[in-house]
Amino acid sequence: MEKVKVGIIGSGNIGSDLMVKLTKSDVLELTAMMGIDASSRGMQHARHLGLQVFDNGVEGLLDQPDLVDIIFDATSAGAHIHNAKVAKQLGKRILDLTPAAIGPFIVPPVNLGEHLDADNVNLITCGGQATIPIIHAVNQVAEVEYGEIVATIASKSAGPGTRANIDEFTETTAKGIELVGGAKKGKAIIILNPAEPPIMMRDTVHAIVAEDKMDEEKIVNSINEMVEKVQAYVPGYTLRTEPIFDGNKVTVFLEIEGAGHYLPKYAGNLDIMTSAAVKVAEEFAKNREKPAVKQA
Amino acid sequence: MANETGIKITEVALRDGSHAISHQYTVDQVTSVAKVLNEARVPYIEVTHGDGLGGSSLQYGLSKTDELKLIEAAVSVTDFSKIAVLLLPGIGTIHDLKKAADLGAKMARIATHVTEADVSKQHIETAKELGLETVGFLMMSHMAPVDKLVEQAKLMESYGADTVYVVDSAGALLPHEVKERIKALRQELKVNIGFHGHNNLSLAMGNTLAAIEEGATRIDGSIRCLGAGAGNTQTEVLVAVLEKMGIPTGVDTYKMMDIAEDIIAPILPKPQEINRDSLTLGYAGVYSSFLLHSKRASEKFSVDSRDILVELGKREIVGGQEDMITDVAAELSKTAVTPAK
C-alpha cells in the first residue's frame, strides 16, 4: 500500500515526539513540519530528517497543498482555531492534539472506529488518553455516576503550550470523561511536580458506580482487559497497584512510562498522546478509499 | 500600593479551615462567621473549598455545601470586609472565577506551586480584567531557593498581580528563611508582599513577625487556628500582638477574641493543637492539608502516619497530590512485612 502523506504543525514537545514516531510508521509518511521558530530544536531536527520545513506555520502548506493528506496539529487550543480553518479550506483532514475540542473526541481503545469520516477529530488531552479508557472499562460493567481523574506530570514535560492551556486541559478532559468514558459527570485535575529526577506521569482515576452495580471481580477484569489494549500501543502503560475499592468507589492508580523518543522516559504524557494520534491517523489511512472531505 | 502603611489581614478560616473540618461548612456557619468578622473590621475574608474554587472532589474531599452558596452568603453579610477566593490553576478554572466575581467576590488569590508560576498567567490576567484585587500565591515556598522564588514572584508581578505571597504551606520555614525570602522579594518587586504561615512547628507567629519586619504588609491568619495542619497564624493573637507593637491593623481585638471563643471554638471538632501528625507535616515539609488524609490512610493500611508523611516529603510531593498518600501508604504496608526493630 502506498503510504499516506502527513505533516505536523508545531515543533514543541508534542510535535517533536510525533516526528520520531511517524518516521517509524509503515502506513504514514511524514513529509512536512510547520513551525514558527526556525531555530527551535524541533525544527532543526525536522531539517535533519530531510522534511519540508515551513517557518510560517500552516500557511506554508497553501503553496504546496499536495505535500500532505493528513495534518497533525500540535500547537495550542487558540492556534488550532486558525489551523483548522486552513485545513478545511485545503480539504485536508486534521488531527487535533490541542485541547481546542472542535471535532469529535477519539480515544483509540474506546472509539477508534467512530468518526472515520470527520474532517477534524480531537485527541482530548494526555490525561484524557490515559484515564478515559479506565472510566470506560468500569462503565461497561458498572454504570459510572461520577468519574474524576488526577493527572500528575513532571514539570519538565509540560511545555509552554500546556502551561498556557491549563484550563482547557481540565475542561476538555472532564468533557471527554463524560462523552467518551460514559460517566454521567466528569472532573479533571492536573498537577505539575518539579521534583528531580523528574517523576513518571501518574494518573489516578476515581469512579463512583451506581449503588447496586458494584461488582469488584467484573470491574477488575474489565480494567485489566483495557490495560492490555492500551499497552498494545503504549507499552509503558501500567497499573501501579490493584484497584482499590471503598463502598461504591473504585480507585485506580496508573503510571505511564514513555518510550523515550523525544523527551526521556518520564514524559509518558507525550507518548500516550502522540501514540494515540498515530494510531488514529493509521486508521484513517487504512480507510482512505472512502474520501472524507470534499475539496473546498 | 507598595508603600501602604499598617498591615492588612486576610482571615482564612473559611477557606484554609475547610481542610480541618473536611470541607463540611454550612451556609449558616459561614454567614454567622462572616457577619462578625465584618463587624470586627477584618479587611479580607477568604471563602472557598480548602483547595480553592472547584476543589470539591474525591481527591480532596467533597464539599458539603456548594462553595458558590458559601461565597454568596458571606458577601450578603459583609459591607466592610471584602470576600476573597482562592484558585489553583489545574483544579479551578477561569469559569469558576467569573462565577465567584459575579456573586460579589472582590479579591482573587491565584495559587501555584512555588516553581510553576507561569500556569497562573491567564488567571491573574482575567482576575484583573474582572476588576478584582489580585494576589499571586506561591505555595510550598520552602521547596525553592530564594533566587527561584524571586524569579517566580516576578512572573506573577508581570502578569498583573497586586500582591505576591510567600506561602509556607507545610509550616516548614524557619524564621531566618522567612526573613531572607521576604527581604529578597521586597528588594526585587514593586508590588505588596504577603506571608501565609502554618503553625506546624509552632513558628507561625514568629515567622509572621519576621516577615513584617522585612516589609511584608499582607498577612494571613486563621482565627482560633482554624486552618489546615496545626492551623495558621492565630488571627486574634496576631491582632493583639501587632497592637502591642504599635502596628495598625484596623481590626477590633476584643471582638476577635469573642468570635474565637464564642463562634469558632464550637465549629472545631476538637481544639487545634500541634500533635504528632501536624508536627510531622512541618518537620517533613509536607502540604498541611495532608493531615486528615494521612490519618485515614494510616488506619486503612495500618502504617504509622508519620512514616507516610516523611516518605511523601522525601519524594518531594507537592500540594494537591493527595492521591499519593494512599499510594505511599499501600506501598509501605507491603514493605513493612518484616517486623520493625
Domain ranges of chain B: 8-264, 276-335
Contact A153, A201 (CB under 8 A): yes
Residue A277 banded pLDDT, cuts 50, 70, 90: very high
pLDDT of residue B336: 63
Longest Cα–Cα distance in chain A = 60
For residue A246, what is the nearest residue in chain B, using CA coordinates?
Answer: B300
Contact residues, chain A, for B323 at CB < 8 Å: 150, 152, 202, 204, 251, 253
Upstream peptide bond of A99 is cis (omega within 30 degrees of 0) = no
Contact A263, A13 (CB under 8 A): yes
Cell 477566593 -> residue: B85
For residue A163, what is the nearest residue in chain B, using CA coordinates?
Answer: B119
Residue ranges of alpha helices (H) inside B189-335 are 204-213, 235-244, 253-259, 276-284, 290-301, 305-314, 323-335
pLDDT of residue A1: 66
The answer to whether the Cβ–Cβ distance between B330 and A244 falls below 8 Å is: yes
For residue B323, what is the nearest residue in chain A, using CA coordinates?
Answer: A204
Q: Quick one: how many helices (H) and strands (E) in chain B?
A: 14, 8
Those residues whose C-beta lies under 8 Å from the C-beta of residue B168, and which sit 6 or more positions away, are B141, B142, B178, B195, B196, B197, B198, B207
Contact A34, A74 (CB under 8 A): no
The per-residue DSSP string of B159-180 comes to HT-SEEEEE-TTS---HHHHHH
Residue A49 forms contact with B (CB below 8 Å) = no
pLDDT of residue A287: 83
Q: How far is B8 from chain A (nearest CA, A)?
A: 31
C-beta neighbour count of B246 within 10 angstroms: 6
The answer to whether the Cβ–Cβ distance between A166 and B122 falls below 8 Å is: yes
Buried b (16+ CB within 10 A) or exposed e, A74-96: bbbbebbeebbebbeebebbbbb
- Looking at the domain A126-265, which fold is it? Dihydrodipicolinate Reductase; domain 2 (3.30.360)
Domain A4-123+275-286: top CATH class: alpha beta
Residue A119 phi, psi (nearest 5) = -90, -10
- Nearest Cα neighbor of B127 from B111, B149, B141 is B111
Residue B119 forms contact with A (CB below 8 Å) = yes
Tell me the pLDDT tens digit for each residue of A280-293. 999 999 887 555 45
Cell of B323: 492521591
Q: How far is A164 from chain B (nearest CA, A)?
A: 6
Cell of B236: 486574634
Which of B90, B94, B317 lies nearest to residue A189, judging by beta carbons?
A: B90
The answer to whether the Cβ–Cβ distance between B59 and A206 falls below 8 Å is: yes
Evaluate if residue A99 carries a pLDDT over 90: no
Domain ranges of chain A: 4-123+275-286, 126-265
Contact residues, chain A, for B297 at CB < 8 Å: none
Per-residue HEC secondary structure of chain A comes to: CCCEEEEEECCCHHHHHHHHHHCCCCCEEEEEEECCCCCCHHHHHHHHCCCEEECCHHHHHHCCHHHCCEEEECCCHHHHHHHHHHHHHHCCEEEECCCCCCCCECCHHHHCCCCCCCCEEECCCHHHHHHHHHHHHHHHHCCEEEEEEEEEEEHHHCCHHHHHCHHHHHHHHHHHHHHCCCCCEEEEEEEEECCCCCCCEEEEEEEEECHHHCCHHHHHHHHHHHHHHHHCCCCCEEECCCCEEECCEEEEEEEECCCCCCCCCCCHHHHHHHHHHHHHHHHHHHCCCCCCCCCC
- Nearest Cα neighbor of A132 from A192, A163, A174 is A174
Residue A5 forms contact with B (CB below 8 Å) = no
Q: How far apart are CA B212 and CA B92, in angstroms?
A: 31
Q: How far is A201 from chain B (nearest CA, A)?
A: 13
**Cα distance from N-terminal residue to C-terminal residue, chain A:** 27
Mean pLDDT of chain A: 93
Residue B304 forms contact with A (CB below 8 Å) = no
Q: What is the mean pLDDT of residues A106-128?
A: 94
Which candidate in A8, A61, A124, A126 is catalytic?
A: A126
Cell of B107: 479579591
Portion of chain A with pLDDT greater than 70, in percent: 97
**What's the CATH architecture for B276-335?**
Orthogonal Bundle (1.10)
The answer to whether the Cβ–Cβ distance between B323 and A193 falls below 8 Å is: no
Whole-number Cα distances in Å, B101 to B9, B66, B86, B123, B127 = 21, 15, 12, 13, 9
Contact A76, A165 (CB under 8 A): yes
**Tens digits of pLDDT across chain B (341 residues):** 444 668 999 999 999 999 999 999 999 999 999 999 999 999 999 999 999 999 999 999 999 999 999 999 999 999 999 999 999 999 999 999 999 999 999 999 999 999 999 999 999 999 999 999 999 999 999 999 999 999 999 999 999 999 999 999 999 999 999 999 999 999 999 999 999 999 999 999 999 999 999 999 999 999 999 999 999 999 999 999 999 999 999 999 999 999 999 999 999 989 999 999 999 999 999 999 999 999 999 999 999 999 999 999 999 999 999 999 998 998 899 886 544 43
The answer to whether the Cβ–Cβ distance between A148 and B57 falls below 8 Å is: yes
- Looking at the domain B8-264, which fold is it? TIM Barrel (3.20.20)
Residue A148 forms contact with B (CB below 8 Å) = yes
- Nearest Cα neighbor of B334 from B298, B297, B301 is B301
Q: How far apart are CA B250 and CA A213, in angstroms?
A: 57
Q: Where are the beta strands (DSSP E) in chain B?
A: 8-11, 44-46, 82-87, 107-113, 133-139, 163-167, 192-196, 218-221
Residue B323 forms contact with A (CB below 8 Å) = yes
Contact residues, chain B, for A155 at CB < 8 Å: 115-116
Residue B333 forms contact with A (CB below 8 Å) = no
Q: How far is A240 from chain B (nearest CA, A)?
A: 8
Q: Considering only residues 174 to 193 of chain A, which have any Cβ-Cβ distance to chain B shorter than 8 Å?
A: 187, 189-193
pLDDT of residue B341: 37
Residue B90 forms contact with A (CB below 8 Å) = yes
For residue B317, what is the nearest residue in chain A, using CA coordinates?
Answer: A193
Residue A168 phi, psi (nearest 5) = -60, -35
Cell of A271: 507518548
Torsion region of A167: left, alpha or beta (phi above 0 gives left; psi -120 to 50 gives alpha): alpha
Which of B59, B95, B316 lies nearest to residue A150, judging by beta carbons?
A: B59
The answer to whether the Cβ–Cβ distance between B58 and A171 falls below 8 Å is: no
Could you check whether B8-264 and B276-335 share the same CATH topology? no
Tell me the pLDDT tens digit for each residue of A3-36. 999 999 999 999 999 999 999 999 999 999 999 9
**What's the complex ipTM?**
0.94
Q: How far apart are CA B108 and CA B124, in angstroms?
A: 8
Tell me the pLDDT tens digit for each residue of A187-223. 999 999 999 999 999 999 999 999 888 999 999 999 9
The answer to whether the Cβ–Cβ distance between B116 and A194 falls below 8 Å is: yes
The answer to whether the Cβ–Cβ distance between A244 and B320 falls below 8 Å is: no
The answer to whether the Cβ–Cβ distance between B327 and A193 falls below 8 Å is: no
